[in-house]
């Protein structure tokens, strides 16, 4: 029914979306190079430098996006169950054979100095699965069992990712699920109750972290607790702690708070036009943490070197990308395409909002990457696959 007419040689692309993505990739490569060069670069030959690896990740991601664009998105929907459960198995595998780093087990070592992060791929699998499930007749969407099944499809990857622990990535699934269910036509009374329960639970967790001893909130890791306390300007140190414990606590928590403060200073010190490419001092002098400047805090590096104007350019590129996605969703030929597109837009927006928010201290530090700008293979490849899904929905928005 939806086969393309082979005699039509016109390839209908959304060039605004493509150009915004290319622009972000160029900026990402330039400023990852700037950050790595300012820190003296990585030891070893040129092909092991992180900016070279990032370019390779871009190439792999573009190839994957082209593959996604080459098939009608109905085929993606038919394979959505397999993709979803494959990513769930990846989340289970990371608990068994995963690589530990910074107190978390989030990666699987594939060799060749590359670690796969299954949680990034789980986000794509989740969107495809939920879009396919919710693209059913409207009368079925009004049934409570459909809502509970959709909630279960959300809760499973949410829980597995949170256990790693990667609370930031798991929380991103919540707005994606809510927006997709709302757009699909799930009764609002279900969504309002779900949102209310979620907000109440989040408020209770934050209150528990702020006012109760750690044993009363056992599912929150110590570093997650410290991040929340640092964000609210509080201390987790007991009043009767020994002088040695106080000194160690000041060193550890002070370091976390210091990193956030330095990221904020980086953003503010750029002024209107910035200090110039590769002229940033916060990173080169070691104030901004070198372990995170090219990924979690890449926006701070750009803001310092290119100033307010550079920051506006970045926000403009993301705005073009997101509004192109919304336009694609509005023009989709069916509810399946609309749900896929709106799920991708919500995912990308959540990443952008949280990452930039933590760079300017509006959000706690969560480790959420900035799409196409932050260094990282899994994040880059999955971001480009997500953009490929948007292109797919646009290309096949009409029957041929």
CA atoms within 13 A on the CB side of 383: 31
Q: Which two three-digit tokens encode residue 140?
A: 């079925």
Highest mean pLDDT among 38-52, 73-87, 261-275: 73-87
The pLDDT value recorded for residue 372 is 94
The pLDDT value recorded for residue 146 is 92
Max Cα-Cα span within the chain: 79
Model confidence at 244: pLDDT above 80: no
Model confidence at 292: pLDDT above 70: no
Q: What three-state secondary structure class fits 297? A: coil
Q: Give the Å distances, CA to CA, from 48 to 9, 36, 44, 210.
A: 41, 12, 6, 43
pTM for this structure?
Answer: 0.86
The pLDDT value recorded for residue 177 is 95
Rounded Cα gap, residues 2 and 5, in angstroms: 9
CB 127 within 8 A of CB 347: yes
Tokens 């396919």 found at: 132
Q: Tens digits of per-residue pLDDT, 137-172?
A: 988 999 999 999 999 999 999 999 988 888 888 889
Model confidence at 82: pLDDT above 60: yes
Rounded Cα gap, residues 252 and 255, in angstroms: 5
Strands 104-109 and 115-116: antiparallel
The pLDDT value recorded for residue 283 is 74
H or E element that contains 104? strand 104-109
Cβ atoms within 10 Å, residue 178: 17
Strand partners, 101: 104
Tokens 């372990």 found at: 291
Rounded to 5, what percent of the chain is helix, strand, coil? Answer: 70, 5, 30
For the ranges 194-198, 257-261, 272-276, the lowest mean pLDDT is seen at 257-261
Q: What three-state secondary structure class fits 69? A: helix
Across all residues in the chain, what is the average pLDDT? 83
The pLDDT value recorded for residue 2 is 39
97: Cβ–Cβ under 8 A, 6 or more apart, which residues? Answer: 108
């Amino acid at each position: 029914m939806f086969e393309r007419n082979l005699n039509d040689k016109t390839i209908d692309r959304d060039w605004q979306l493509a150009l915004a993505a290319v622009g972000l990739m160029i900026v990402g490569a330039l400023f990852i190079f700037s950050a790595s060069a300012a820190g003296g670069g990585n030891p070893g030959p040129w092909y092991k430098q992180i900016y070279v690896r990032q370019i390779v990740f871009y190439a792999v991601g573009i190839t994957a996006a082209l593959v996604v664009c080459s098939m009608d998105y109905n085929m993606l929907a038919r394979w959505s169950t397999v993709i979803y459960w494959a990513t769930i198995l990846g989340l289970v595998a990371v608990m068994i054979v995963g690589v530990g780093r910074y107190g978390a087990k989030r990666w699987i070592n594939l060799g060749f100095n590359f670690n796969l992060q299954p949680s990034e791929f789980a986000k794509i699998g989740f969107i495809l699965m939920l879009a396919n499930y919710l693209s059913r007749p409207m009368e079925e969407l009004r049934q409570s069992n459909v809502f509970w099944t959709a909630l279960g499809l959300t809760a499973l990857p949410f829980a597995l990712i949170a256990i790693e622990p990667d609370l930031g990535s798991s929380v991103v699934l919540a707005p994606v699920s809510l927006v997709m269910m709302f757009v699909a036509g799930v009764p609002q009374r279900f969504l309002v109750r779900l949102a209310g329960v979620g907000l109440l639970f989040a408020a209770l967790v934050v209150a528990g972290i702020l006012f109760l001893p750690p044993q009363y909130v056992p599912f929150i890791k110590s570093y997650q607790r410290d991040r929340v306390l640092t964000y609210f300007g509080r201390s987790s140190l007991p009043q009767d702690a020994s002088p040695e414990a106080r000194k160690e606590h000041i060193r550890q928590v002070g370091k976390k708070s210091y990193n956030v403060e330095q990221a904020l200073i980086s953003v503010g010190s750029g002024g209107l036009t910035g200090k110039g490419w590769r002229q940033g001092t916060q990173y080169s002098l070691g104030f901004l943490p070198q372990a995170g400047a090219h990924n979690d805090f890449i926006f701070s590096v750009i803001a310092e070197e290119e100033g307010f104007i550079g920051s506006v350019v970045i926000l403009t590129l993301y705005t073009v990308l997101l509004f192109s996605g919304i336009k694609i969703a509005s023009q989709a030929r069916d509810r399946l395409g609309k749900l896929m597109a709106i799920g991708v837009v919500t995912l990308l927006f959540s990443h952008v909002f949280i990452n930039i928010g933590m760079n300017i201290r509006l959000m706690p530090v969560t480790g959420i990457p900035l799409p196409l700008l932050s260094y990282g293979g899994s994040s880059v490849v999955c971001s480009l696959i997500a953009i490929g899904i948007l292109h797919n929905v646009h290309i096949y928005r009409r029957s041929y």
